[in-house]
Amino acid sequence: MNLAYKSLLEIKELIDSGEISSREVWEYFKSRSEELNSDLGVFLSIGPKEFEEKNNTPLSWIPLWVKDIFCEKWITTSGASRMLENYIPPYDATLIKRLNEAGMNALGKCNMDEFAMWSSGENSAFLTTKNPHGTDRIPGWSSSGSASAVAAGLVPAALGTDTGWSIRQPASMCWVVGFKPSYGRNSRFGVIPMASSLDCPGTFTRDVKDAAYLYDIMNGEDKLESSSLSWKDSIDSKIWETKDLSWVKVWVPKEYFEQGLDVGVKEQIKSAIAKLKELGAEIIDISLPMTKYAVAAYYIICPAEVTTNLARLDGIRYGYNSELPNNNLEEIYLHNRGEGLGNEPKRRSILGSYVLSAWFYDAYFKKAAQIRTLIIEDFKKAFSEVDIIVGPTTPWVAWKIGEISEDPLKMYLEDAYTIPASLAGLPGISLPCWFTTSNDNEKESLPVGLQMLTNRLQEEKLFQIAHVLEQSLNLWDSLIPKNFQA
Ligand code: GLN
């Protein structure tokens, strides 16, 4: 049976009705992943988990791919860094545990940008992942392997993390549904930290319903993680019956349509907004004035937290050990960290130490923290008037591998539309939204993603509205990349 582009819930139904066995499902996706990996560079390791015959769980061994930032007991977890190349965790991340208990198991670990930093999927210490919609193009970052895997039908779902946009942006470039809940909903326990006040685990799926189904399994209190919220959220299945949006007020911030936005992307997003209107939503044009400071604040707060989190990686108790002779402690640090870490983690560690230093703390870190509060206030004000904020997920479609990887500033500016929600801890989703010709090649059509944000803790409303739009766009058949048909 051709399973590649079926949704998670469709596969579950086939297993439940006995039309296919869970072993067949596992074997199908395992062999498809092995067969196509050389074209896409999706995973760092496959297995060693093998199918077991126990079907008393809701998701009876339906496989997924997991970003190599989630610790899984006795399975190498590297964060795509030389520093942790041979690190084998003795415990499971809470989300892995919850998914396993529900019956979903990982085929293995997916490629990513080193410790989730950077913006293209070209910054892994090991390999470059490609976009199934054009294999000379980036799949987006940093959960690059997870997005590419779902887009090419290697699994129905994958896990990623979003710190500044790393679920929403690759989902947009690979044309799958990327969802991050409010900060604190999904436990970060066992997820290698990048910036702890921003890191947010979430999913890549084929549709909105699958995202909600996995969210239901994963979210909720975790006593092992101090920022996790102390209650569980459950999505009411009645929301899927909603057909019109006449009860919805949509805000389209004008800041998301200013300079830097590709014309093709703009046109498609405007058409999707027109569709929302057709469905009955009221569109309101107002402004989000602090947005323009979000990127600057993020690139101070994030490196400050990176420098603290990466400080533990010195290769002494675990991690990369240089073969150079060491005469003192300083040389141990220099050699192990100098060889074990890539350029971007080094750049952020230096920048982070600088903004946290006694002399510059007030001018940089404190200022950025104040701006973060103003951004949160901006959103609070907005959500007292509207239900949802809509705009492009990213300003451009996927660019060619290598095209801007040497330009850190341009790369940093790429996340202008997604970072404000990360700073405010809001839930967000990127929905496939037609395609447009790429900036460099008029003939090549590439995916566009529409970002939707709701107020904190309003995941149910986000799923409800996104589902109505998704149904009316009805893009499923065109989402299949032409070189990766099943
Ligand atoms: N571009 C952002 C960064 O490099 C994305 C990070 C993320 O969401 N993991 O910080």
In a domain, 411, yes or no: yes
If you measure from the C-alpha of residue 12 to the centroid of ligand 1, how many angstroms do you get, rounded to a whole number? Answer: 33
DSSP structure class, residue 79: T
The confidence score (pLDDT) of residue 119 equals 59
DSSP annotation string for 111-160: --SGGG-SSSS---SS----BTTBTTB---SSSHHHHHHHHTTS-SEEEE
Interatomic CA distance for residues 246 and 282, integer angstroms? 7
If you measure from the C-alpha of residue 141 to the centroid of ligand 1, how many angstroms do you get, rounded to a whole number? Answer: 7
In a domain, 266, yes or no: no
Give the closest residue (by CA) to ligand 1 atom 10: 117
Question: Ligand 1, residues 146, 183, 194: which to mutate, most atoms within 8 A of Cβ?
Answer: 194
Interatomic CA distance for residues 121 and 486, integer angstroms? 25
pTM comes to: 0.96
Tell me, what CATH number does 467's domain have?
3.90.1300.10
| CA 70 from centroid of its chain's CA atoms | 13
Give the closest residue (by CA) to ligand 1 atom 2: 164
Of the residues 12, 30, 67, 130, only one is catalytic, namely 67
In a domain, 279, yes or no: no
In a domain, 313, yes or no: no
In a domain, 443, yes or no: yes
pLDDT of the chain along its 486 residues, tens only?
899 999 999 999 999 999 999 999 999 999 999 999 999 999 998 887 888 887 788 998 999 999 999 999 999 999 999 999 999 999 999 999 999 999 999 999 999 999 999 755 578 999 999 999 999 999 988 899 999 999 999 999 999 999 999 999 999 999 999 999 999 999 999 999 999 999 999 999 999 999 999 999 999 999 999 999 999 999 999 999 999 999 999 999 888 887 778 889 999 999 999 999 999 999 987 778 898 899 999 999 999 999 999 999 999 999 999 999 999 999 999 999 999 999 999 999 999 999 999 999 999 999 999 999 999 999 999 999 999 999 999 988 898 888 876 676 667 667 889 999 999 999 999 999 988 886 666 677 899 999 999 999 999 999 999 999 999 999 988 889 988 998
Question: Ligand 1, residues 123, 414, 415, 418: which to mutate, most atoms within 8 A of Cβ?
Answer: 415
427: helix, coil or strand? Answer: coil
If you measure from the C-alpha of residue 394 to the centroid of ligand 1, how many angstroms do you get, rounded to a whole number? Answer: 13
| DSSP-assigned beta bridge partners for residue 450 | 392, 431
In a domain, 336, yes or no: no
If you measure from the C-alpha of residue 411 to the centroid of ligand 1, how many angstroms do you get, rounded to a whole number? Answer: 10
Domain with 25 in it: 8-254+376-484
In a domain, 367, yes or no: no
In a domain, 357, yes or no: no
Strand spans (E) along 206-331: 249-251, 282-284
Question: Ligand 1, residues 204, 299, 302: which to mutate, most atoms within 8 A of Cβ?
Answer: 302
- Ligand 1 atom closest to Cα of 164? 8
Pocket lining for ligand 1, CB < 6 angstroms: 116-119, 142, 162-166, 302, 415
The Cβ of residue 164 has, within 10 Å, a number of other Cβ atoms equal to 30
If you measure from the C-alpha of residue 83 to the centroid of ligand 1, how many angstroms do you get, rounded to a whole number? Answer: 19
If you measure from the C-alpha of residue 323 to the centroid of ligand 1, how many angstroms do you get, rounded to a whole number? Answer: 32
Q: Look at strands 200-205 and 445-453 and give their pairing.
A: unpaired
Of the residues 22, 148, 166, 430, only one is catalytic, namely 166
Provide the number of structural domains found in the chain. 1
**392 CB contacts (<8 Å, ≥6 apart)?**
256, 261, 265, 266, 269, 417, 448, 449, 450, 451
- Ligand 1 atom closest to Cα of 143? 9
Is 142 a known active-site residue? yes
346: helix, coil or strand? Answer: helix
Is 166 a known active-site residue? yes
